[in-house]
Amino acid sequence: MKMLKALVIVPNEQTKEIGALLAVARAEARKREHIEKNPPILALRFFPELDVYVAVYEAQEIQKSEVKRSG
């Protein structure tokens, strides 16, 4: 099963082009997921009423053995 996550990107002077927005989305997704390889960006949409972009990417599923148990 795919696990989808989203990032909100507020555009600025450096992120006016789609390539720059995709680069930001990939880098932030990689940081958030703590992985070395860029996760695939499945969608990038602009919401004019909010003046933001939303990037949807596929995250790796966490294996049960990787989840730390508190206690």
> Taking a C-beta distance cutoff of 8 angstroms, is the pair 39, 54 a contact?
no
CATH architecture of 3-61: 2-Layer Sandwich (3.30)
Q: Is the pLDDT of residue 12 over 70?
A: yes
pLDDT value of position 2 = 76
Alpha-carbon gap, residue 22 to 17, rounded angstroms: 9
Average pLDDT, the chain: 86
Chain segment 27-54, per-residue pLDDT in tens:
999 999 998 888 899 999 999 999 999 9
- Sign of the dihedral through C-alpha 52, 53, 54, 58: negative
Q: Given pLDDT bands bounded at 50, 70 and 90, which one contains residue 63?
A: low
pTM assigned to the model:
0.77
